[in-house]
Amino acid sequence: MDEFKTKPLATELLISAAYLTDIGRERLNNEDALVVADLTESVIETQPGEFSERSVGRLGWLLATADGMGGAQAGEVASRIATTQLAKNLISSDATMPVADRLREGLISANREIRRVGEQQPECSGMGATITAAIIIDGAAVIGQVGDSRGYLIREGRIKQITKDQSVVQAMIDAGVMTPEEAALSPHRNVILNALGVKDELKPELSMISLADGDMLLLCSDGLSNKVSGAEMQQIVCNADTLGAACKQLVALANEHGGQDNITLVLARFADASR
């Protein structure tokens, strides 16, 4: 992320966010879920919404999108468990733990709960979910990922994907046997290598980025990233009048490009509280 470090980084942030989910044009139900939570105030929001310039307290904010999978309504159940269990675990966790450890344990807790419900309810057997989650705290975003939901950083009019898909085609890209352009057209592009609820043991990918005044963070399910390019995301987000308007325009474009999957995103903007 060195090429993005063009502005002084902030240690005390204000956060604004908009978050939206849409069933798309072809699915019969929405198997995506989202959560935006003020962990300090123990406030959890799972429905679409928008707010402006709230403070980031000592426990930070949680932003996350999840994409469920499974028969009947099981995917919907899995994504809802993933987001709500993660938020509840973080609120009740030991605040003295390093943030990355708290996030890791929260994701492991969500994995465990999805497996427990799947074992107890036959109609939910085999369900799972991908998730990308970020804890915003101390001027940084600590990001945890399981599967192929994505995170993007938008800084000074430029966009960069800050997560790496845990998928078959990404592994082939890393091995040098497939280009990103070929991966986008591959029939295996939706085959993932990691998901909540699939195995007893879970090893989420964790990373951290420092945040600057004016930065924006976009978390989304593959219903958006498979249909809208990074360049299109950047153009819409940077030109929209509000974060909420940007979310609606992104969903509309994904649907215009086919809308074969559910579409969910959380878009946050950060401001230096001392400005």
Q: What domains does the chain contain, in order, with CATH numbers? A: 12-158+194-269 (3.60.40.10)
**Helix or strand holding residue 236 (H, E):** helix 230-239
The length of the chain, given as a count of residues: 275
Count CB neighbours of 121 within 10 A: 12
* Sign of the dihedral defined by the CA atoms of residues 114, 91, 132, 37, in that order: positive
**Distances in whole angstroms, Cα of residue 29 to Cα of each of 44, 61, 249:** 23, 28, 21
Average pLDDT, integer, range 28-33: 95
pLDDT at 1: 41
Count CB neighbours of 216 within 10 A: 21
pLDDT at 186: 64
List beta partners, residue 157.
Answer: none
When mean pLDDT is compared across 27-31, 49-53, 127-131, 184-188, the lowest value belongs to 184-188
* Confidence check: pLDDT of 171 > 70: no
Q: Are 88 and 42 in contact (CB under 8 A)?
A: no
Residues 6+ apart with CB under 8 A from 178: 169, 172, 186
* Confidence check: pLDDT of 2 > 60: no
The Cα–Cα gap between 138 and 160 comes to: 21
* Confidence check: pLDDT of 222 > 90: yes
* Confidence check: pLDDT of 3 > 60: no
The Cα–Cα gap between 45 and 91 comes to: 13
When mean pLDDT is compared across 12-26, 75-89, 155-169, 187-201, the lowest value belongs to 187-201
**Of 128, 65, 107, 94, which Cα lies nearest the Cα of 206?**
107
